[in-house]
């Protein structure tokens, strides 16, 4: 019997406010990924956002993530037909790469009858992305606080009241790698204190629906 899996992964807004590399929020915008076993070799189709730019070969993030999971499971990589129906804009700060990574891992895990728990999937996703702030809310939903390194993460999922999120996108793309290149190596103590205190207030304001505090 040919196995088929469909995965729906949300967009995310990470580095949320002052919560750099630790706070991420899942949004109501989704990429849908369908993975089917096939004996004829790899085939990848991309529809919607990124259809003209995303790779459809071995360098595609979905197949890279899927094969990483097969390797962790000690299984030979399966030949797959992957269809990506993307609604998340690429290189827009909305976690499009995290969606691909999480979708590939969750889909591959389902094809193997789910040998890995969600937290193990998070570790694999964080290894691929290099940080957990986008992949954690993409995997768990809601507002997610992640603390620590990839191999030793503390994860807190924080349910939120319903809210309307408005996203404003620039008219150009900017990869996370390029954006991080301009960051300084050192942060003044006053700036660090400001961010830590506002990050704590941000979580409380979102959790309680007290959005007026977001401007403090």
Helix, strand, coil % in the chain, rounded to nearest 5: 35, 25, 40
CA distance 18 to 213: 13
Average pLDDT of the residues of the chain:
91
pLDDT tier at 90, thresholds 50, 70, 90: very high
Q: What is the pLDDT of residues 49-76, one digit of tens each?
A: 999 999 999 999 999 999 999 999 998 8
pLDDT of residue 16: 85
Task: State the Cα–Cα distance between residues 127 and 123, nearest whole angstrom.
Answer: 6
The tens digit of pLDDT for each residue in 126-177 reads 999 988 989 999 999 999 999 887 778 889 898 888 888 888 887 777 777 7
Query: What is the structure's pLDDT at 127?
Result: 93
Looking at residue 137, what is its pLDDT? 96
Q: What is the mean pLDDT of residues 22-37?
A: 95
Query: What percent of the chain stands above pLDDT 70?
Result: 100
Strand, helix or coil at 166? coil
Is the pTM higher than 0.85? The answer reads: yes
What is the Cα–Cα distance from 199 to 161, expressed in whole angstroms?
18
Q: Output the pLDDT for position 102.
A: 98
pLDDT digits (tens, 9 = 90+) for 184-197: 888 899 988 898 88
């Amino acid at each position: 019997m040919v196995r088929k899996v469909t995965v729906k992964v949300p967009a995310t807004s990470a580095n949320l406010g002052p919560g750099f590399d630790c706070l991420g929020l899942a949004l109501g915008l989704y990429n849908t990924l369908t993975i089917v076993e096939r004996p004829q070799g790899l085939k990848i189709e991309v529809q919607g956002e990124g259809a003209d730019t995303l790779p459809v070969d071995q360098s595609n993030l979905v197949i890279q993530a899927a094969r990483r999971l097969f390797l962790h499971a000690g299984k030979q990589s399966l030949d797959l037909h992957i269809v990506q129906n993307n609604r998340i804009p690429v290189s827009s700060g909305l976690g499009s790469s995290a969606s691909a990574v999480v979708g590939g891992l969750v889909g591959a895990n389902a094809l193997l009858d789910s040998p890995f728990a969600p937290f193990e999937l998070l570790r694999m996703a964080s290894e691929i992305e290099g940080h957990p702030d986008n992949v954690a809310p993409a995997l768990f939903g809601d507002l997610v606080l992640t603390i620590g390194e990839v191999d030793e993460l503390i994860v807190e999922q924080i349910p939120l009241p319903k809210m309307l999120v408005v996203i404003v996108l620039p008219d150009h793309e900017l990869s996370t790698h390029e954006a991080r290149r301009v960051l300084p190596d050192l942060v003044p103590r006053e700036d660090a204190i400001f961010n830590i205190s506002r990050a704590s207030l941000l979580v409380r304001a979102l959790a309680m629906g007290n959005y007026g505090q977001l401007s403090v």
